[in-house]
Amino acid sequence: MQRHMARPRLVPRSVIGVSALPSRRFMQTLDLGALDSKWQQIWNEKLERRRIQHELRIRQLPSDSPADSRLMPCPKFIVPMFPYPSGSLHMGHLRVYTVADVIARYRRIKGDNAALPIGWDAFGLPAENAARERSIDPREWTSANIAHMKLQLQRINAEWDWTRELATCDPNYYAHTQRIFLALYKRGLIYQNEALVNWDPQDQTVLANEQVDANGCSWRSGAKVVKKKLKQWFIRITAYKDALYDGLAELEKDGAWPSHVIEQQRHWMGKTTGYLVKFPLLAWGKPTSTALEAFVEQPAYMSGAQFLALSPKHPLTRCMATTDLELQSFIDRIDAQDTEPHASYRLPSLQAKNPLAEDHLPHVPIFVYNPGHEEGPGARMGVPGHNKDDQDFWAKNMPREPVRVAAVTPNHSKWDETNLQIVRELQRASMAKPFTRWRLRDWLISRQRYWGTPIPIVHCKVCGAVPVPEENLPVKLPQVAPLHWERRKAGNPLESAAAWINTPCPTCTQPASRDTDTMDTFVDSSWYYGRYADPDNPVLPWGPMASERSLPIDTYIGGVEHSILHLLYTRFIYKALANTPGLYPKFETMEAGMRAEPLQRLITQGMVHGKTYIDPSNGKFLVPAEVDLSDAQNPKVVATGAAAKVSFEKMSKSKHNGVDPTACIDKHGADATRAHMLFQAPVNEVLNWDETNISGVTRWLHKVHDLVLNMAELPVSAQTPLDYLEHEFEKRTAGPMGLSWNESLSLWRMAQNTIVLARDDYDKIYALNTVVSTLMKLSKSIQANTMAHDMIKREATSILVRLMAPITPAFSEECWRLLFPAAGSVFEWASFPIPDGTLQMKHFQGVDQSCALHIDGRFAARLMLKRPKVQLSIEEMDEWTKDSVLATSVVLEKYSRDPIDLKKAESVHVAKQGALINFVMPKTRRDDNPRKTKQ
């Protein structure tokens, strides 16, 4: 028969002539924990050999060779957000790192050069406070935590590239953070300015707005935050606001970034287009010659305007406060975060006239209010009839006044026409001009704490603020006297480190002093991903070759809680570096650099919730010792015997529902833990962690192991499954094919369909849970099709092991070694399975298939069905089989009317890809179910 398409051989390409580690069949009773240890050691030895080879190559290079020539091979990176070294991993860490490793291994087995790097977000106030509480230096605390968490990371069967490991507290790393600071400072993108900031009186440091909760308290210490005027360092992120906003449209294409992240970034930047409209002012009811410009988003709403609101910073507010003590007191309360929602102060002497209103309508009152984090012109129009927030404001401040509604609303057919008409009228009268309001403001990066990147600026009385010369970087953190930590002193010890502070001015050499602030840790984490590509570069964050080969990052994975600030700052720094001379990436034009994005694809995983037990009598969260789990399905309160209330909630110490990933791995093995975690929920949804269900995955792995042991006894065939099927098809005589050929074709089509489904779901990433379920179905099919040809079963098992490899790497390595003892690692010597064309071959699609009909579990008849002419999903195949069975002559003659009408079945179950179907009948009919003999 003529070949329909070229197809790859399915025996591994390395079976013959490959040296490998000594192989032996693993113990008959599968020990997943022992497999973890065995293969982790093998992987670590390979990584160490690779590192030594790289170092030997570097030593052989001439001393004057360029820095880029010393680079390790530059792969594409799968980057999970690096952890803060708190001391131990939690289940959220395990989930994100499992997903990242699965993607990286999948990419590698497909033939891509993909790496999984890791680092540590090691600076920050939490580490400093934790060290102070333990009376130790933050270095000691952080170093110990990194060492412990590194051991934990090595337990999860992820193939980390430790040769690229970094920590933001390492001077070799933060030298480049300081280099980036200086580059932006020279471009005017960093400046120092007096600012009213959020001050935490307990931790004695500045807090960003997002670190202050709705009650005006610190997110970390819980202390009431006060406003304080300090000289602070800012990054001028607003210079890139249009590029940051417009770039989101590109990231939105083809779902590269999740839509909810895109929307959160847009909302945070708060771009609103509208108009500045002049409202004539009245003083004590009499017209004046001045007007107040207020922001109006929709001019058609102006007929429903009922108030104007000024921010405390508006020039008119400041002017009025000089003579109005009550107004100044209200402003002071705003600064002290001591105002209720919608609190305001009505200016008693001023009103405004709506430029569109008739003279008989009341004038518009003017209020000063707390705008929160809003940015803009500082004055806006309020329309209670069309805005919920304005409605709440009006109800609180003018409760007796009715709410007015504009004459035209957005649902009106003349809405757009009305807007344009009003704008034209106002512009003809020079009363309006276009304006875009932004919520985004410049990035405050000063922090009054020790454990952070020092700001590389020297303050000189003669020269002012002077950058530290690059050759003097890094400006290292000084060692602080142990007594500071032992006495648990609050505040920034850099302010009293005289030997460190006092230094000559780099310009005039006169006595000067270092800046004692350190940088916001978001600066450290805004560029770390690129350092993985060039971890040893002494002069640049990353060089041109690393930038060209490995940036932007291929896939970035992390929690949705970082959707706004971390990702926004990361995007900004990349764009800013692209426009900075001497730094990379490089683009032909500044506009192209503005469009550059650092992260091609973003994956946000859902949270992991823990099983939580609550005493129904008092709502108390129960610790494990207070719950009787002798009957896991019916937990009880030990003290009372009452049934405990069970829910899944965010893991926390207060709810006693945290789970130690290491304990789970110790008990079940890393591969079973990984597979269970992926199987339980789609990647982007909340995962309710229930360890009692892991037994299902464990049983599956044991069954696959037994299957592999049986298949390993069968010889490796030089013939491909497609060769066999075509050869047998050519030999057939008139009439249906034999049962062995039918099951062989059925199993092979199932294996081919599984390749397609698994490949698509691996590519989607969010559907990794269905990869596991699809592979479970393939393993069941191999076991069920006992009459299939041995070669078909062996090759289907080979496909199964390779498809499982990214999810269960140690288990798959062992199974691969059993199937092909002479082959190397499944990730290095095998390839990701490729469909061989069986599914598209029409002469196979029309072949009859045998189907065993069962009624209430009892065999009733054997039917011959025509195979579908198109490729179907598993669910579609089940539905097609049911419909085909109901249309056969046997069913139409015997089982389409009472007492047994299969169309009235309560449920229908299809197995073996349509080789068996069982109809479950209503109870009243089950006694009539006949026992049939094979036809």
What pLDDT sits at residue 23?
A: 40
Q: Indicate if the pLDDT at residue 722 is higher than 90.
A: no
Residues 6+ apart with CB under 8 A from 667: none
What pLDDT sits at residue 752?
A: 92
Range 487-509 average pLDDT: 92
Range 654-681 average pLDDT: 94
Torsion angle in degrees (nearest 10) through CA of 342, 343, 345, 351: 10
What pLDDT sits at residue 782?
A: 95
Question: 878-903: string of b/e by CB count within 10 Å (b at 16+)?
Answer: bebbbebbbebebbeeebeeeebebe
How far apart, in whole angstroms, are the C-alpha atoms of residue 829 and residue 801?
Answer: 13
Beta strands in 439-561 (DSSP E): 443-444, 446-447, 457-460, 464-467, 502-504, 511-514, 518-519, 553-559
How far apart, in whole angstroms, are the C-alpha atoms of residue 367 and residue 349?
Answer: 11
Per residue in 392-445, pLDDT (tens digit) is 999 999 999 999 888 777 877 788 898 999 999 999 999 999 999 999 999 999
* Band of pLDDT at residue 845, cut at 50, 70 and 90: low
CATH classification (class only), 694-835:
mainly alpha
Q: Which of 862, 935, 859, 874 is nearest to 910 (CA)?
A: 874
Proportion of the chain above pLDDT 90, given as a percent:
64
Rg (CA), the chain: 35
Cβ-based burial of 922 (10 A; exposed 0-12, middle 13-18, buried ≥19)? exposed
Q: Indicate if the pLDDT at residue 319 is higher than 90.
A: yes
What pLDDT sits at residue 412?
A: 76
Q: Indicate if the pLDDT at residue 8 is higher than 90.
A: no
Q: Indicate if the pLDDT at residue 731 is higher than 80.
A: no
* Band of pLDDT at residue 70, cut at 50, 70 and 90: low
Asked if residues 861 and 764 have their Cβ atoms less than 8 Å apart, the reply is no
SS3 labels along 572-629: HHHHHHHCCCCCCCCCCCHHHHHHCCCEEEEEEECCEEEEEEECCCCCCECCHHHEEC
Mean pLDDT of the chain: 88
What pLDDT sits at residue 641?
A: 92
At CA 42, angle to CA 41 and CA 47, rounded to 5? 95
H/E element, 631: none
Cβ-based burial of 218 (10 A; exposed 0-12, middle 13-18, buried ≥19)? buried
**CATH among 1.10.10.410, 3.90.740.10, 1.10.3720.10, 3.60.9.10 for 272-436:** 3.90.740.10
What pLDDT sits at residue 375?
A: 52
What pLDDT sits at residue 373?
A: 58
What pLDDT sits at residue 9?
A: 33
Q: Indicate if the pLDDT at residue 385 is higher than 70.
A: yes
Range 781-787 average pLDDT: 90
Question: 720-740: string of b/e by CB count within 10 Å (b at 16+)?
Answer: bbbbbbbebbeeeeeeebeee
* Band of pLDDT at residue 16, cut at 50, 70 and 90: very low
What pLDDT sits at residue 847?
A: 60
What pLDDT sits at residue 13?
A: 33
* Band of pLDDT at residue 1, cut at 50, 70 and 90: very low
Q: Indicate if the pLDDT at residue 881 is higher than 70.
A: yes
How far apart, in whole angstroms, are the C-alpha atoms of residue 127 and residue 131?
Answer: 6
Q: Indicate if the pLDDT at residue 248 is higher than 60.
A: yes
The label of the residue with tokens 């937990």 reads 635
What pLDDT sits at residue 563?
A: 87
Per residue in 327-350, pLDDT (tens digit) is 999 998 887 777 788 899 999 999
How far apart, in whole angstroms, are the C-alpha atoms of residue 683 and residue 560?
Answer: 12
How far apart, in whole angstroms, are the C-alpha atoms of residue 544 and residue 341?
Answer: 52
What pLDDT sits at residue 25?
A: 46
The segment with the largest mean pLDDT, out of 2-16, 26-40, 756-770, 911-925, is 756-770
Q: Indicate if the pLDDT at residue 209 is higher than 50.
A: yes
Range 186-198 average pLDDT: 92
What pLDDT sits at residue 2?
A: 38
Beta strands in 236-285 (DSSP E): 272-283
Asked if residues 447 and 205 have their Cβ atoms less than 8 Å apart, the reply is yes
Range 666-693 average pLDDT: 95
What pLDDT sits at residue 160?
A: 96
Per residue in 557-573, pLDDT (tens digit) is 999 888 899 999 999 99
Residues 6+ apart with CB under 8 A from 540: 67, 176, 179, 534, 582, 583, 584
Q: Indicate if the pLDDT at residue 926 is higher than 70.
A: no
Question: Of 227-236, 237-246, 570-579, which gets the smallest average pLDDT?
Answer: 227-236
What pLDDT sits at residue 823?
A: 84
What pLDDT sits at residue 508?
A: 97
Q: Indicate if the pLDDT at residue 551 is higher than 50.
A: yes
**CATH among 3.40.190.10, 3.40.50.620, 3.50.30.30, 3.30.70.100 for 75-168+238-267+525-605:** 3.40.50.620
What pLDDT sits at residue 737?
A: 55
What pLDDT sits at residue 489?
A: 79
What pLDDT sits at residue 876?
A: 83
How far apart, in whole angstroms, are the C-alpha atoms of residue 577 and residue 552?
Answer: 13
